[in-house]
């Protein structure tokens, strides 16, 4: 990589660390450290919420998914705006007015200490692990692309995020997120502009070709419990997933608890409601544009350079044969793409259709060779050879003008750091507030908790880096991250729903939660073909049903905490 | 004076609907001609 790219990357990292450390002056107590004194404006919190959700996997994996699979992944987010509106009228006002540090703290006030401790522990387990995968995903790609040892990539991503989170706490996380988000969006627009500018055929023709190849198909209205990306799983399963993620996952709850008021907290979530789907669609469209770009340029057969090299060494004959087949197929597809583009202007409807059909057949042949090549790579390397996550980085490094690789890789680092920072900050908060302060040291000076908070952040950061170095090849990293959470997610959401039903008591909530997790476990192992998006629905519904059935059993909840007043103004 | 939440709610749903309709139109416009 050119030194100018490195100057851009190092410059960005240095700026983010410097800016985060600068904010450490403001944090004298734990409310400042964990919640930025509950004084952040809605737009900063809103950008922070978006930056936390958007991880490096989104930039490198989702674009790759757009290139190979088209736009249908966007259906996954269809439930998000609905979830944000529901949270705006339910959980957000409850949690904000309760002046809690963690979402789970509210469960102790409403139910009992064990419900709080269990939910918080589940959060620590699942998020602690997923924080590792969030670092691992881009680190694995960086290592393969730049030819580095994995340790260096993990350090490059992990250390800056740990540094500013440890020093500056929630305020540093939020303000860094704002800047990271600006960079990410700017980088995405810049890449779209370059891709459109470099397209050798008119963009309308290009989209027609992408449409013929099925890359612009968004909606799938079939109802299937086994398909993850359908309209219905997005709307129903997606709503439950997003309710769980934004309503009960401390890494997000903590973002809007740091807003100035209930209204500002709601507005911050609505920013995602408005912008998440368009942003996600744009990221996928970049993938589609990369697919179109490679129709007219030499496209790698295997995008993971390390795998390509190893396959060439270990199975030279098979590799050479595949390469010959691939070159022929790609050449034929390029000719077909040109003819399809020309036919849009010169031919009649029948000719246009025939040309597009011709292109589609040639594209299917290329896909066939790619499938064989990936199977050979898997055999030769003994690893999963899925290379969706390598398409975008390879494109950026090989094909974009000088400076763009630096900007894109900085944006990938920004996306990774903003997710990791929010997670470390929330893991530390849950550790200190829900466990250390609750069970071990109830009374101590603020300075003590502040110091412990910083130590916990650093230790969680170290843990995440260790997990990352072992999480090497994980197949489709996007789904892995989501799957980690979905095992407990729905059940925890169910407990929060029960918390808003006055007649439910602690016993019902606790037993309901255990039943919910058992139900998800049973479905997950018993009927593994059911898509993980439905696990949240199953978990939440089981918890609520069991909780309602056992409703009146057990001791009443502590006085004054049973019926939180709804506010839907 | 902050916007009443019900207004915001409808606004979000409307924007969501418009986004989906636009995606739907794009999908059909560029689909393989029948």
Distance (Å) from the alpha carbon of B25 to chain A's nearest alpha carbon = 10
Model confidence at A567, in pLDDT bands (50, 70, 90)? very low
Distance (Å) from the alpha carbon of A342 to chain B's nearest alpha carbon = 16
On the question of pLDDT at A475 being above 60, the answer is no
Give me the pLDDT at residue A62, please: 94
Q: Is A28 on the interface with B (CB under 8 A)?
A: no
Give me the pLDDT at residue A365, please: 95
Tell me the C-alpha distance between A219 and A124, whole Å: 36
On the question of pLDDT at A468 being above 90, the answer is no
On the question of pLDDT at A229 being above 90, the answer is no
* Residue among A85, A356, A569 whose CB faces B4 most closely: A569
Nearest CA among A124, A292, A128, A104 for reference residue A198: A292
Grouping H, G, I as helix, E, B as strand and the rest as coil, residue A259 is: strand
Cβ contact (<8 Å) for B12 and A568?
A: no
On the question of pLDDT at A486 being above 80, the answer is no
Give me the pLDDT at residue A346, please: 83
**What angle separates helix A532-549 from helix A477-499, to the nearest 10 degrees?**
20
At A61-110, the pLDDT tens digits run 999 999 999 999 999 999 999 999 999 988 999 899 999 999 999 999 99
Model confidence at A559, in pLDDT bands (50, 70, 90)? very low
Taking only residues 11 to 30 of chain B, the set having a beta carbon closer than 8 angstroms to any beta carbon of chain A reads 12-13, 15-16, 19-20, 23-24, 26-27, 29-30
- Could you tell me the CA-to-CA distances from A233 to A73, A107, A144, A263, A489 in Å, in that order? 11, 29, 34, 30, 16
pTM, two decimal places? 0.92
Give me the pLDDT at residue A483, please: 59
Cβ contact (<8 Å) for A217 and B24?
A: no
Please report the sign of the dihedral spanned by the C-alpha atoms of residue A136, residue A142, residue A145, residue A149: negative
When mean pLDDT is compared across A53-67, A249-263, A410-424, A553-567, the lowest value belongs to: A553-567
Q: What value of ipTM does the predicted structure carry? A: 0.91
**Contact residues for A202 (Cβ-Cβ < 8 A; gap 6+):** A341
* Residue among A85, A212, A274 whose CB faces B9 most closely: A85
Give me the pLDDT at residue A563, please: 42
A463: part of which helix (H) or strand (E)?
helix A446-470
| Mean pLDDT, all residues of chain A | 89
Nearest CA among A244, A250, A260 for reference residue A105: A250
A473 by Cβ neighbours in 10 Å (0-12 / 13-18 / 19+) ranks as middle
**Contact residues for A205 (Cβ-Cβ < 8 A; gap 6+):** A340, A341, A344, A345
Chain B residues near residue A81 by CB distance under 8 angstroms: 12-13, 15-16
Number of H helices, E strands in chain A: 24, 0
Q: How many CB pairs under 8 A join A and B?
A: 69
When mean pLDDT is compared across A126-135, A201-210, B4-13, the lowest value belongs to: B4-13
Instruction: Judge whether A287 and A64 are in contact, CB under 8 Å.
Output: yes
Q: Is A563 on the interface with B (CB under 8 A)?
A: no
Tell me the C-alpha distance between A322 and A333, whole Å: 16
Cβ contact (<8 Å) for B8 and A353?
A: no
Q: What is the DSSP letter of A221?
A: -
Cβ contact (<8 Å) for B5 and A78?
A: no
Tell which wins on pLDDT, B13 or A552: B13
Give me the pLDDT at residue A148, please: 86
Chain A residues near residue B31 by CB distance under 8 angstroms: 211, 216-217
Chain A residues near residue B28 by CB distance under 8 angstroms: none
Instruction: Judge whether A38 and A185 are in contact, CB under 8 Å.
Output: no
Tell me the C-alpha distance between A197 and A193, whole Å: 6
On the question of pLDDT at A526 being above 90, the answer is no
Distance (Å) from the alpha carbon of B22 to chain A's nearest alpha carbon = 10
Grouping H, G, I as helix, E, B as strand and the rest as coil, residue A40 is: strand
Residue of chain B with shortest Cα separation from A263: B2
Cβ contact (<8 Å) for A274 and B12?
A: yes
Nearest CA among A227, A224, A124 for reference residue A485: A124
Instruction: Judge whether A274 and B12 are in contact, CB under 8 Å.
Output: yes
Chain A residues near residue B17 by CB distance under 8 angstroms: none
**Cα atoms found within 13 Å of the Cα of residue A209, Cβ hemisphere only:** 36
Model confidence at A421, in pLDDT bands (50, 70, 90)? very high
Cβ contact (<8 Å) for B6 and A349?
A: no
Model confidence at A129, in pLDDT bands (50, 70, 90)? confident
Instruction: Judge whether A46 and A255 are in contact, CB under 8 Å.
Output: no
Q: Is A354 on the interface with B (CB under 8 A)?
A: no
At A352-409, the pLDDT tens digits run 999 999 999 999 999 999 999 999 999 998 887 788 989 999 999 999 999 999 999 9
Q: Which residues of A381-408 are buried (b: 16+ CB within 10 A; e: fewer)?
A: beeebbbbbbbbbbbbbebbeeebbbbb
Residue A113 has a CB neighbour count (10 Å cut-off) of 13
Model confidence at B7, in pLDDT bands (50, 70, 90)? confident
Q: Is B1 on the interface with A (CB under 8 A)?
A: no
Q: Is A230 on the interface with B (CB under 8 A)?
A: no
Tell me the C-alpha distance between A440 and A409, whole Å: 43
**Contact residues for A13 (Cβ-Cβ < 8 A; gap 6+):** A156, A160, A410, A413
Could you tell me where the DSSP H helices lie in A315-403?
316-346, 349-381, 388-399
Chain A residues near residue B33 by CB distance under 8 angstroms: 349, 352-353, 356
Distance (Å) from the alpha carbon of A106 to chain B's nearest alpha carbon = 24
Give me the pLDDT at residue B11, please: 87
Give me the pLDDT at residue A557, please: 64
Instruction: Judge whether A72 and A217 are in contact, CB under 8 Å.
Output: yes
* Distance from the first to the final alpha carbon of chain B: 53
Tell me the C-alpha distance between A144 and A357, whole Å: 36
Instruction: Judge whether A270 and A84 are in contact, CB under 8 Å.
Output: yes
At A286-315, the pLDDT tens digits run 999 999 999 999 999 999 988 999 999 999
On the question of pLDDT at A569 being above 50, the answer is no
* Residue among B12, B30, B33 whose CB faces A216 most closely: B30
Cβ contact (<8 Å) for A211 and B27?
A: yes
Cβ contact (<8 Å) for A277 and B19?
A: yes
Tell me the C-alpha distance between A272 and A180, whole Å: 16
Cβ contact (<8 Å) for B33 and A81?
A: no
């Amino acid at each position: 990589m050119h030194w100018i790219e490195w100057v851009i990357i190092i410059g960005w990292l240095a700026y983010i660390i410097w800016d985060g450390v600068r904010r450490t002056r403001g944090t004298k107590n734990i409310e400042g450290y964990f919640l930025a004194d509950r004084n952040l404006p809605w737009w900063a919190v809103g950008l922070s919420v978006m930056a936390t959700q958007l991880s490096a996997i989104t930039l490198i994996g989702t674009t790759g998914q757009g290139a190979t699979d088209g736009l249908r992944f966007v259906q996954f987010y269809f439930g998000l705006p609905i979830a944000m509106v529901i949270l705006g009228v339910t959980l957000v006002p409850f949690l904000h007015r309760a002046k809690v540090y963690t979402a789970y703290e509210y469960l102790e006030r409403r139910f009992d200490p064990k419900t709080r401790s269990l939910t918080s522990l589940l959060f620590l387990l699942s998020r602690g692990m997923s924080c590792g995968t969030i670092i691992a995903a881009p680190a694995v790609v960086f290592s393969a692309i730049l030819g580095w040892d994995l340790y260096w990539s993990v350090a490059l991503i992990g250390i800056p995020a740990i540094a500013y989170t440890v020093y500056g706490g929630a305020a540093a996380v939020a303000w860094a997120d704002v800047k990271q988000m600006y960079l990410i969006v700017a980088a995405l627009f810049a890449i779209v502009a370059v891709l459109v500018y470099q397209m050798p055929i008119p963009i309308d023709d290009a989209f027609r070709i992408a449409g013929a190849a099925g890359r612009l198909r968004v909606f799938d209205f079939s109802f299937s419990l086994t398909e993850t990306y359908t309209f219905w799983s997005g709307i129903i399963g997606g709503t439950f997933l997003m309710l769980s993620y934004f309503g009960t996952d401390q890494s997000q709850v903590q973002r809007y608890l740091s807003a100035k008021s209930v209204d500002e907290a709601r507005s911050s979530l609505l920013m995602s409601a408005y912008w998440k789907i368009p942003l996600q669609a744009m990221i996928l469209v970049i993938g589609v544009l990369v697919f179109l770009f490679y129709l007219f340029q030499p496209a790698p057969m295997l995008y993971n350079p390390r795998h390509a090299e190893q396959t060439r060494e270990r199975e030279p004959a098979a590799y050479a044969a595949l390469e010959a087949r691939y070159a022929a197929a790609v050449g034929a597809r390029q000719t077909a793409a040109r003819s399809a583009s020309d036919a849009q202007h010169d031919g009649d409807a029948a000719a246009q259709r025939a040309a597009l059909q011709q292109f589609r057949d040639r594209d299917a042949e290329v896909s066939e060779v790619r499938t064989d090549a990936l199977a050979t790579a898997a055999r030769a390397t003994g690893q999963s050879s899925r290379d969706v996550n390598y398409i975008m980085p390879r494109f950026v490094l090989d094909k974009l003008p000088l400076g763009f690789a630096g900007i894109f890789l900085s944006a990938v680092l920004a996306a990774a750091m903003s997710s990791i920072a929010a997670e470390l900050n929330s893991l530390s908060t849950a550790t200190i507030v829900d466990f250390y302060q609750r069970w071990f040291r109830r009374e101590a000076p603020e300075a003590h908790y502040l110091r412990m908070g910083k130590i916990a952040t650093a230790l969680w950061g170290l843990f995440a880096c260790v997990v990352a170095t072992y999480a090497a090849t994980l197949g489709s990293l996007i789904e892995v991250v989501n799957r980690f959470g979905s095992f407990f997610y729905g059940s925890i959401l169910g407990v929060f729903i029960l918390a808003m039903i006055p007649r439910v008591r602690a016993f019902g909530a606790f037993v309901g939660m255990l039943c919910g997790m058992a139900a998800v476990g049973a479905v997950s192992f018993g009927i593994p073909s059911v898509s993980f998006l439905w696990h949240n629905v199953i978990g939440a519904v089981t918890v609520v049903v069991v909780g309602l059935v056992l409703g009146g059993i057990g001791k009443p909840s502590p006085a004054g905490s049973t019926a939180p007043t709804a506010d839907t103004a | 004076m902050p916007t009443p939440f019900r207004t915001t709610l409808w606004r979000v749903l409307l924007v969501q609907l418009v986004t989906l309709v636009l995606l739907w139109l794009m999908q059909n416009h560029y689909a393989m001609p029948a």
